[in-house]
A = this chain, B = another copy of it.
Amino acid sequence: MNTAPSSPKATRDRAATERAILDAAKQVLVEQGFTCFGVNAIARAAGCDKQLIYRYYGGLDGLVDALGTELSHLFGEQLEFESSRPLENYGEFVEQMLLALLRTFRASDLLLRIAAWEILEPSPITRRLAETRGAALMHWVRSMRGDLEPPEEMDFGAINAILIAAVQHLVLSAHATGGFGGVPLDSDADWKRIEAGLVAMVRAIYPPSSLGGS
């Protein structure tokens, strides 16, 4: 690793070091998982001393906070560009939301890891991550929904929770074991099946034909 004996950092740049630590935190989370997420591993990945994590971020908690804000921005950016074509009814909105969510989770290992972390360890650290992520998601969904109203005769809150939970879990399970249950989830064709299933379900639940406002 070190050619020169004890190379004391090429340049002295606090901002760059802070960023290196933050990037290292993401890297460790993605590549090693949250069980290895600690000052030692992060400092090792960042190529600096762990003391700097305490000095610059006030320990792991502060670092996670910084990572949380970084994350909400990333979440917003990844999702933003999807809502292009105008939506005609509530079912179409749900459909597009689910597909965008699925692709976003599939594309970002970091988001995935953090979502998993939130589920597994209800620690105060993950609470803040969950809140910031949830807020970003909420904001995005609202901006996407526009003024479309859900049909009143059904509990769309529960139904949407079910659908979103399904998307999240399938991506998580696929990432861990390459599938869910007996269904393989690896190739794009596999995911096309899921997408088609989601669309079919949404259309069955929110039929586009019956445009009943109120």
Which residues of A are in contact with B by a Cβ distance under 8 Å? 33-35, 116, 118-122, 127, 130, 134, 137-138, 154-155, 157-159, 161-166, 168-170, 172-173, 176-177, 180-183, 193-194, 196-198, 200-201, 204-205
Contact = CB atoms under 8 A, between A and B. Distances in A.
Please list the 10 inter-chain residue pairs (A to B) with the smallest Cβ-Cβ separation, ordered nearest first: A169-B169, A158-B197, A166-B166, A165-B169, A204-B204, A122-B176, A161-B183, A158-B193, A162-B166, A159-B197
A105 B164 CA distance: 19
A177 B33 contact: no
A34 B120 CA distance: 9
Contacts of A177: 118-119, 122, 127, 130
Contacts of A161: 170, 180-181, 183, 194, 197
29 contacts: A35-B35, A118-B173, A118-B176, A119-B119, A119-B172, A119-B173, A119-B176, A120-B176, A155-B196, A157-B183, A157-B193, A158-B183, A158-B193, A158-B194, A161-B170, A161-B181, A161-B183, A161-B194, A162-B170, A162-B194, A162-B201, A164-B180, A164-B181, A165-B165, A165-B169, A165-B170, A165-B173, A169-B172, A201-B201
A74 B140 CA distance: 42
